[in-house]
Chain A
């Protein structure tokens, strides 16, 4: 038997918030029958669309998958969307007094369902960006982004860790070399390595590149939702922006900024970019 904590067993035996919500504000579906676990998360917001007033789940999976889902719904009730967006898989595991290493993927599933549900609320889309893109592990349908994400968020070093956290590599094992490569890449970025010996961009080039990236990669997405953003300033790696329109009031601006703006700028301009909102 697994070494589950009493809290895990309690949430497994007496899961809180099982079921569905009528007219939910956000729905997140992750996992599949093929993978052996799946979770559907629903939440309802208050009238001001600020706080999560109710959360429910349905889960197909092992004891720790059920416990993680139950814990997640308990945790996010009463949270604002920004707060919920900051919940990590480790938070879920901690709430349960910890999970066995090989079961950490259950907490990641919870976190991913939450992300998808929040994204669903904002865009009406069913699946978050992170779940799209190049599939590295065919056996479990895990994408490069997902793998990068668990490595960063949980400070992982080994292929086996990645397997424990998102299952990638746990089937035929064919993708293990790719995972090892991704670990090396991600870790190289995490430890602020001495700048790559590329020719450094001049400030002017950098500003231009940032503007281009915002124009091409970021603005269209925001405008779709009735929002926009301005590029205000650049200081070293720090890009200062200000949100406009819908985005200015958006409760998940923080989320958009980190996950969309910063991610895109890191991808197209420089890996060490930090984005900040102009509060002035």
Chain B
């Protein structure tokens, strides 16, 4: 069996179509779009085409609301930094305890610089506490940033509701949709977020390219200065091949969602999940299974440890990830697992499988078949079984 990649929330393979689309911008069309000659000038139109493709995927009314960045982390930094600086410390910053570090670290930075910063909790299934959000919003103007879907558990926040609550309270709302884009149908014309971050390498474009949607009229201090590119909102010569690649990837994702293929992925995910739960003892699923990304399952193997599971999986050619302490490079389980209050009997053995549109049933069957052997080997060794 060749390698089986079930770590698509970490990164995805670049779609061959995307690579093909990008190649001419290395080989022939390598001009600088800012140049006053045909050589660079002819490139600008392709950037604008890609911008329109990104806008279309998320339902942005006007492509000019899309700004290209280098990655999701940059988009997140730009959003928080941009509005917090523009609006000043009179604005409270509200986020959640399960955000990506790109958001948490940026918010904490502003905490040290005079902003009031609040991190809202989640329940045992990873669901946001909306009452807490309302309460925090009642005390004055605020910038709110919550993710659309969680990278570790796949849990989807009720963004429509959150957005409404924030807008009603007069707040600014940013969502980190890095995991949601390309997997869920998103329409910012219907869900009036002010800003939305997305990343190329989670949707089969290469690493090194991302984008941020900034609703017209949103006040933002420029993060990267020194050039007129992206209408002065993000200086720096455009990464043309990657921008084109991101456009193509968005285009493909749109077709993929429109054709309903995410349900195929969800079926495979469910098969995998049920197969593991049925064949491996002491297993539980982490997160709200009713509101989850179609490609993600986070399963806790009690009494055994995540890193050991991953190494054994890796030995048989299967790539997955874990929220266990050992794999996070820290000594405690992931902040998401801890925020959910997953009991420590399960926390250290939490294992995430994230599928993609390229995952096949044969691959899933292989994992279901081999998982019990791995779990049992480690269980036999465990002093707690």
Residues of A within 8 A of B (CB): 1, 9, 12-13, 15, 18, 29, 33-34, 36-40, 58-63, 65-66, 102, 139-140, 163, 167, 170-171
- B interface residues, how many (CB within 8 angstroms): 26
Residue of B nearest to A13 (CB): B315
Can you offer 9 A-B residue contacts whose CB atoms are under 8 A? Answer: A9-B311, A29-B383, A59-B383, A60-B303, A60-B381, A61-B305, A62-B307, A63-B326, A170-B330
Contact pattern, B 297-309, Cβ under 8 Å of A = 1, otherwise 0: 0000001111110
Contacting residues, chain A, for B306 (C-beta < 8 A): 62
Q: With A62-B305, A63-B308 as known contacts, state yes or no: A170 contacts B331, CB within 8 Å.
A: yes
Identify the 4 closest CB pairs spanning chains A and B, nearest first. Answer: A170-B331, A62-B326, A62-B307, A58-B383
Q: Are B307 and A18 in contact (CB under 8 A)?
A: no
- Shortest Cβ distance from residue B5 to the other chain A in the assembled complex, whole angstroms: 15
Is B6 part of the contact surface with A, judged by Cβ < 8 Å? no
- Shortest Cβ distance from residue B296 to the other chain A in the assembled complex, whole angstroms: 22
Give the number of A-B contacts (CB < 8 Å): 69
Contacting residues, chain B, for A40 (C-beta < 8 A): 383
Interface centre among A12, A13, A36, A58 (most CB of B within 10 A): A36
The CA-CA distance from A24 to B303 in the complex, in Å, is 24
Q: Are B305 and A37 in contact (CB under 8 A)?
A: yes
Contacting residues, chain B, for A61 (C-beta < 8 A): 305, 308, 326
The CA-CA distance from A1 to B345 in the complex, in Å, is 24
Q: With A170-B332, A171-B332 as known contacts, state yes or no: A63 contacts B307, CB within 8 Å.
A: yes
Contacting residues, chain A, for B201 (C-beta < 8 A): none
- Shortest Cβ distance from residue B100 to the other chain A in the assembled complex, whole angstroms: 21
Q: With A60-B305, A62-B305 as known contacts, state yes or no: A102 contacts B382, CB within 8 Å.
A: no
Contacting residues, chain B, for A58 (C-beta < 8 A): 381-383
Residue of A nearest to B303 (CB): A60
Contacting residues, chain A, for B308 (C-beta < 8 A): 12, 61-63, 66
Is B384 part of the contact surface with A, judged by Cβ < 8 Å? yes
The CA-CA distance from A9 to B381 in the complex, in Å, is 16
Q: Are A163 and B331 in contact (CB under 8 A)?
A: yes
Contacting residues, chain A, for B348 (C-beta < 8 A): 33, 36, 60
Q: Are B333 and A60 in contact (CB under 8 A)?
A: no
Contacting residues, chain B, for A102 (C-beta < 8 A): 329
Per the 8 Å Cβ criterion, residues 322-374 of B in contact with A are: 324-327, 329-333, 344-345, 348
Is B380 part of the contact surface with A, judged by Cβ < 8 Å? yes
Q: Are A66 and B381 in contact (CB under 8 A)?
A: yes
- Shortest Cβ distance from residue A276 to the other chain B in the assembled complex, whole angstroms: 39
Contacting residues, chain B, for A65 (C-beta < 8 A): 305
Contacting residues, chain B, for A13 (C-beta < 8 A): 315
Taking A58-B382, A170-B331 as given, write out 8 further A-B residue pairs in contact, using a Cβ cutoff of 8 Å, ordered by the A residue number. Answer: A34-B344, A40-B383, A59-B382, A60-B303, A62-B307, A62-B308, A63-B308, A139-B332
Q: Are A59 and B381 in contact (CB under 8 A)?
A: yes
- Shortest Cβ distance from residue B54 to the other chain A in the assembled complex, whole angstroms: 33
Q: Are B305 and A36 in contact (CB under 8 A)?
A: yes
Contact of B381 among A18, A163, A167 (CB under 8 A): A18
Q: Are A39 and B383 in contact (CB under 8 A)?
A: yes
Q: Are A18 and B380 in contact (CB under 8 A)?
A: yes
Q: Are A36 and B311 in contact (CB under 8 A)?
A: no
Q: With A12-B308, A33-B345, A33-B348 as known contacts, state yes or no: A60 contacts B331, CB within 8 Å.
A: no
Q: Are B325 and A60 in contact (CB under 8 A)?
A: no
Q: With A36-B324, A36-B333 as known contacts, state yes or no: A15 contacts B381, CB within 8 Å.
A: yes
Contacting residues, chain A, for B305 (C-beta < 8 A): 36-37, 60-62, 65
Residue of A nearest to B322 (CB): A62
- Shortest Cβ distance from residue A24 to the other chain B in the assembled complex, whole angstroms: 14
Residue of A nearest to B307 (CB): A62
- Shortest Cβ distance from residue B385 to the other chain A in the assembled complex, whole angstroms: 9
Q: Are B329 and A38 in contact (CB under 8 A)?
A: no
Residue of A nearest to B338 (CB): A171
Residue of B nearest to A58 (CB): B383
The CA-CA distance from A13 to B315 in the complex, in Å, is 9
Contacting residues, chain B, for A60 (C-beta < 8 A): 303-305, 348, 381-384
Contacting residues, chain B, for A29 (C-beta < 8 A): 383
Residue of B nearest to A12 (CB): B311
- Shortest Cβ distance from residue A100 to the other chain B in the assembled complex, whole angstroms: 10
Contacting residues, chain A, for B330 (C-beta < 8 A): 170
Residue of A nearest to B306 (CB): A62
The CA-CA distance from A22 to B380 in the complex, in Å, is 17
